[in-house]
Amino acid sequence: MVESKKLWMLAGPAIFTSICQYSLGALTQTFVGQVNALALAAVSVENSVIAGLAFGVMLGMGSALETLCGQAYGAGQITMLGIYMQRSWVILFVTSLFLVPIYVFSPPILKLFGQTDEIADATGKFALWMLPQLFAYALNFPIQKFLQAQRKVLVMAYVAGVVLVIHVLLSWLLILKLGWGLVGAAVSLNFSWWLVVLGQLAYIFIWKSDGAWTGFSFQAFKDLFSFVKLSLASAVMLCLEFWYLMIVTVLAGHLNNALIAVDGISVCMNINGWDFMIALGFNIGISVRVSNELGAGKPRAAKFAILVVSATSISIGLVCMALVLGTRDYFPYIFTNTAEVRKEVTKLSPLLAITVLLNSLQPVLSGVAIGAGWQALVAYINIGCYYIVGLPAGLLLGFKFGFGIEGVWGGMTGGIVLQTIILTIITSCTNWKKEASEAGNRFRKWGGSVAED
């Protein structure tokens, strides 16, 4: 019960924060959908493809901070957290500059992948207006990892909740009331993301840092190469996971009766996205618990935390799985009036239920990997399981053997199952005393010299 309380104090606000931030883009699409079909397509494609690509890269690069800040906090070296956050800001700002061309040249890129000229050009215009959001990502993810490591997740939840309310009001005013359309969507979404950043920074700079923030320092530019290596490993690990099921939607567009297939899989992925926000909260909770306990030299506590969060998350996953199966004839009506699409969604519901269940354990194991600093190892596992086994299996079942979208999704689900089994075995066989020792070595390598100065 004590460990469960610690978990929910982290995971609960993290789930709320994830849902609020996920809803910023989703609600913008909802308001723009009242304008016209082209505007909705432009926002949807930019949000899911262009910004989705950037979101995955930046979240992954920022996740290196989750390992280092969590272990430094556990070791009692609080002042290092601010240094680590500044290093991550430097790295993510440079990463943002490398991503700018994707925004600038998005129309020809989208046309290359088969998007219509009309939608690609509208998306490209909207993508240019959304460049401020990209740089908000560069600041936001390091700030969140900095706060999460100190277990200050409630402040993130408060900021996210307030910003979501402001975003709804501002979007209604600019997009519908004043008739600004896409311009209003860009202004409200950029403003909201920067409001999230500024609200969190105000808490750190003005109200409470507990010694974790000691001001800007040139120490942020030390040991950048080692920091970049861990950041790249984190980015590869998370991006391979983040983009994997997005491929299902892309492949659905190449099947017979593609419109029904794409609509059906989109409804399922929408449900899966909301469910994944719950899983993401547990991912954050266990990564903080593991990194803190390893940094404090408490391997048994880290192992016990993994057992508790796994049992909790799987229990919730079973409930969500039962809900999907129990309502598979009814929930499609929420999303569509087309009988063929509803039938397709009902047919895909068993696969959705399996994916929802896998969501309950797989992100937890990824969170353990982040907390322990195994990002490079898991990146290799993801490449093998997802793109060498799962994706070819999906292509064979879907196209070669004619199982359609069920075959594509089923084959790729096999890759997730294989990855989950491998990570379960690795976690079960880990020498946690050795991992606690490695955490100490990592801190001495990347932070000890600075702390001594």
The 3-class secondary structure across the chain, one letter per residue, is CHHHHHHHHHHHHHHHHHHHHHHHHHHHHHHHCCCCHHHHHHHHHHHHHHHHHHHHHHHHHHCHHHHHHHHHHHCCCCHHHHHHHHHHHHHHHHHHHHHHHHHHCHHHHHHHCCCCHHHHHHHHHHHHHCHHHHHHHHHHHHHHHHHHHCCCHHHHHHHHHHHHHHHHHHHHHHHHHCCCCHHHHHHHHHHHHHHHHHHHHHHHHHHCCCCCCCCCCHHHHCCHHHHHHHHHHHHHHHHHHHCCCHHHHHHHCCCCCHHHHHHHHHHHHHHHHHHHHHHHHHHHHHHHHHHHHHHCCCHHHHHHHHHHHHHHHHHHHHHHHHHHHHCCCCCHHHHCCCHHHHHHHHHHHHHHHHHHHHHHHHHHHHHHHHHHCCHHHHHHHHHHHHHHHHHHHHHHHHHHCCCHHHHHHHHHHHHHHHHHHHHHHHHHHCCHHHHHHHHHHHHHHHHHHHHHC
Q: Report pLDDT for 249.
A: 65
| Confidence (pLDDT) at 49 | 78
pLDDT in tens, the chain (453 residues): 888 888 888 888 988 998 898 888 878 877 887 777 778 778 877 887 788 788 888 887 877 777 777 777 777 778 888 888 888 898 899 999 999 999 999 999 888 876 778 888 988 999 999 999 999 999 999 998 888 888 888 999 999 999 999 999 999 999 988 988 899 999 999 999 999 999 999 998 887 666 778 777 777 677 677 777 777 777 777 777 767 766 776 677 677 776 677 667 767 877 887 788 888 888 888 888 887 788 778 888 888 888 898 899 899 999 999 999 999 888 888 766 778 878 888 988 999 999 889 888 888 888 788 777 777 788 888 889 988 999 899 999 988 888 888 888 899 889 989 989 998 998 888 887 887 777 666 656 655 443 333
Whether this prediction's pTM lies above 0.85 is answered by no
What pLDDT does 335 receive?
Answer: 64
Quote the pLDDT of residue 449.
Answer: 42
